[in-house]
Copies of this chain bind each other. A is one copy, B any other.
Amino acid sequence: MDVTKSNFQTVLEALDDELENASFVSIDTEFTGLNSTEGRSNKLSSLDTPSERYKKVLNSSPQFIIIQFGLSIFRFDNSISKYVNKTYNFYIFPNTSTLPGLPDTKFLSQASSLGFLASQGFDFNKLIKEGIPYLNLVNEEKLRVILKKKANHYIFIRMHLLLNCLRFLLIKKDSLTISRSSRVETFLQNEENEEKRNAVLELHCNTIQNELIFSHVKSRYPNLLFESSKKTCNGCTVIVKKTGIQKSKTEPSETDSYVAEMQKVEDNVGFSRIIRKITDSGKLVVGHNMLLDLCHILGQFCAPLPEDYDDFKGMVNTFFPRFIDTKVMATTKPFRDLLQNSALDRLLNSLLAAPFRNIEVIPATGFPSYTDNFKNHEAGYDAFITGRCFVAMANYLEDISSSQSKTAAVHESLLVTPFYQKIFMMMVPDIPYMTISGPDLEPSREHVFHVTFPSEWKLQDIFHLFSVHGTVRVDWTGDTSAFVTLHRKENSHFVLSAMAESKLPVGCSVISYQAYLNRKSQIATLSAEVPDLSSRKRLSSPVQCNTSDVPSPKKTREDVKNMKLNKEQFVVSANWD
């Protein structure tokens, strides 16, 4: 079901019950773009640590926004022993009005991303005209402060007006005729709107006026409670409050429209309320390849993303206390041996065939069936099939387990709990996921080396440098640096000593992965004090040789080997370990 401004309130109001009854929910998002920066420093590497990967995501995508959010609610129906599904496809667009206090959001789009979504049938007119607005907690707080000031000002104006009306009544007793009190009438009718229920007036008056209020005015305005009369040195204080709620039958006045405007602003918290309801429900949230989704959801609807990776973990645990990334499942045993491809649409296809069982999911009444209606890359559809993939994989785990008590309500299976709070990390074979609930994996990288070299070097030159140690994988980190991973781990211990003995080519250095990490953390500490030390160049090549005169090693490897070299020209790290 598509959700836009027009039906958002209805969906929102029903959501508490939906979530209460839900077994689990699955989610997906569509963005305006994926990569905001080019260049190697932000490029994903197969040796990224979780913290490095988080920083790369943080640097590359903050200005893109989520424009579609899929929420697929799965409820296990015991009577039919099947999951029943309701899927919502929310169109989300920042506030377009220029109401004071609301941000006029500027966001980045990537032409290829919008083009792709358009080719998949995404309706951008609907998005911009009908998209649900949102505010994260910081912007909401800003707005509340501004609104509070305004509201105070408004209450002041209203009170001032009532006071004058009452004074008018008090001074001129005969003013209690209908015609002359019409202005008061209008005012007090406006006063009867529910949103102004807490209006309070303290009215200072002398004893005679006090009597007049209680003899004439009070009876005239049954919806006002003239609650008490405190005596002061100069007379009395009458506190006027509202008693009941009675809808105004008149046309909205200026003050009414103002209140309506304020309500409109309240509405701008909009979609963020959905996320808060999901958080509050405590239900399991399932996503697929969730890193970008989670980062965007948190930043856009919750609060700005923290710089620090551990703070990010804390934030994820706060807003998503229980989640599963189906891409983590699909790439972990036993599934990784059974599935060719973990991309969402292909994953579903695989999971519909043996050895898996095609677990039927029933669309709830009034909700369209996605089963015969593929809408790849619509957030709602992708959320739905993510949920289906989860059910299929959890079901398989139950099927193959030796446990006696098997359940069809597989979201309750204890066998899925090892997958909680893990986010898939693309391209990193030895750290396949971020562990959000605790410390991350720290696999040994003793067989990994950080190499710097002249800019002329090609892949072959690096292969050549390591040729005696067997085959290697090269991960470029810049034009003059790379990580080199030995295929034969057992050779790890020979590399640095071998390199020290056979002189390294000019402008080349080889250090262990651990030494690289140490140096990086030293530089990070230094650069926090002296910012200009933090340049990438310095990071990746801590000792610089003048390589401008060094001929291309490809053509002159033999020459270089035979050159009578100055020992100082070799850069061999003292940090070998």
Contact = CB atoms under 8 A, between A and B. Distances in A.
A43 to B, nearest CB: 15
Contact of A111 (B33, B107, B125, B129): B107
Contact of A96 (B63, B104, B112, B128): B112
Interface residues of A, number: 30
A110 to B, nearest CB: 5
Nearest to A129: B118
B124 A112 contact: no
Contact of A108 (B108, B115, B124): B108
Interface string A473-495: 00000000000000000000000
A95 B114 CA distance: 10
Nearest to A64: B106
A97 interface: yes
A105 B123 CA distance: 21
Interface string A87-103: 00000011111100000
B111 A109 contact: no
Chain A contact residues: helix, strand, loop or mixed: mixed
Given A118-B125, A124-B125, A129-B118, A108 B106 contact: yes
A128 B115 contact: yes
Interface string A496-524: 00000000000000000000000000000
A182 to B, nearest CB: 38
A198 interface: no
B112 A104 contact: yes
A367 interface: no
Chain B CB within 10 Å, residue with most, of A98, A116, A124:
A124
Contacts of A93: 111, 115
A377 to B, nearest CB: 14
A209 interface: no
A36 interface: yes
Nearest to A36: B106
Contact of A94 (B63, B97, B105, B111): B111
Nearest to A93: B111
Nearest to A108: B106
A36 B94 CA distance: 15
Interface in A48-107: 63, 93-98, 104-107
A6 interface: no
Contact of A110 (B104, B112, B127): B104
A127 B108 CA distance: 17
A123 B127 CA distance: 11
A444 interface: no
Contacts of A106: 33, 36, 108-111
Contacts of A33: 106
Interface in A119-136: 119, 123-125, 127-129
16 contacts: A63-B108, A96-B112, A96-B114, A96-B116, A96-B118, A97-B115, A105-B110, A106-B110, A106-B111, A108-B108, A114-B128, A115-B129, A118-B129, A124-B125, A124-B128, A125-B125
Q: Which A-B residue pairs are the 9 nearest by beta carbons?
A: A96-B115, A124-B124, A94-B111, A118-B128, A105-B111, A104-B112, A118-B129, A96-B111, A114-B128
